[in-house]
Amino acid sequence: MPELPEVEILARHLAPLLAGRTIRAVDVRRARVLAPTSVGELERALLGARFLSLTRRGKFLRFQLRPRGGRAPFGLLGHLGMTGRMFLQPASRPLPKHAAVVLRLDRSTFVFEDPRQFGRLTLDLGALTRLGPEPLAKHFSPAYFAVALQRSRQAIKVKLLDQALVAGVGNIYASEALFRAGVAPRRPASRLPLPQVNALHRAVRRVLAEAIACGSTLPLDFAGTGRRDGHFYYGRAEGTPDYYAERLMVYDRAGEPCRVCATPIRRCVQAARSTFYCPRCQRG
DNA sequence: CACCATGTTCCTTG
DNA sequence: CCAAGGAACATGGT
């Protein structure tokens, strides 16, 4: 379940569980999620290798492993696509229906499941080179943002989804950030006045940081036993309130009253994706 | 049956 | 060169 905050929470959760663990068996059930790596290549690289670290970059998960025999560490790149999940489960538990890659460790099993198979788990790290700056890092400065937006006449909402501009913003947080900044989603990027650019820069960081903070405090079911899903995207741990949905100001709220001015939230389609906005609060 | 879906890439058209 | 639109990937939910 993937936008930057969800991937960040997952990385923080998995990193200490995986560090130092050795891969005893590799079971690829959906070879397409490895592309362009082949099943044989993955098996050769991972068998007997040990997890060193796990970090996030944009919506990607970067695993560092040390191969069997102590040669130089190598990278493994994960992406959750739309429906991917990664978790550890007891070695004895049956695998989920859509398990795509299964790594047997000692006494537990790492599972990458993905019904739609839009996700990836691959030795090809090439996708990372096409990413723009991390939105929560210094490199993502108001000046950088302003210059980048000036060069594009694309609608600002569409531009926010461009991973080469800034890495990790997806369809939900793009709408949320625009609302926080009071910016109309269809305004061309180059037509944003500087104060709006700065407001949007702040809003992107704030929306993402708040989502990470929220995810850090929720009782998440990473083991994947929950009914809807184990993360905090739409789902929640069993028996807990749905804090997450209430945090969203506009996403998936078409027709419902704006939480600020009570005007009905609208939905429009841009680049074949839904955009949600308040026509009164977002006139910039 | 219809339509929608957190992502990315490729292709066509203007 | 740019932007917009659509399709593709494959599956599930409502």
Give the pLDDT score at A55. 98
Confidence bin at A229 (pLDDT 50/70/90): very low
Q: Which residues touch strand B (CB under 7 A)?
A: A 1-3, 6, 58-59, 79, 81-83, 116, 118, 127, 130, 161, 163, 170-172, 229, 233-234, 272-274
DSSP-assigned states of every residue in A9-40: HHHHHHHHHHTT-B--EEEES-GGGGTTS-HH
Check whether A269 has a pLDDT greater than 90.
yes
Residue A238 CB coordination number (10 Å): 12
Taking CA atoms, A241 is separated from A6, A30, A102, A213, A231, in Å, by 18, 35, 32, 17, 13
| Interatomic separation, CA of residue A118 and C1' of nucleotide B10, rounded (Å) | 15
Q: How far apart are CA A221 and CA A238, in angstroms?
A: 8
Question: What is the spatial distance, in angstroms and rounded to an integer, between the CA atom of A77 and the C1' atom of B10?
Answer: 22
Q: What mean pLDDT is predicted for residues A159-187?
A: 96
Nearest alpha carbon to residue A17 among A98, A92, A73, A86: A86
What integer best gives the mean pLDDT of chain A?
Answer: 90
pLDDT tens readout for residues A21-40: 999 999 999 999 999 999 99
Q: Using an 8 Å Cβ cutoff, are A165 and A146 in contact? A: no
Q: Which of A67, A66, A63 is nearest to A75 (CA)?
A: A63
Strand B positions closer than 7 A to protein CB? 4-9
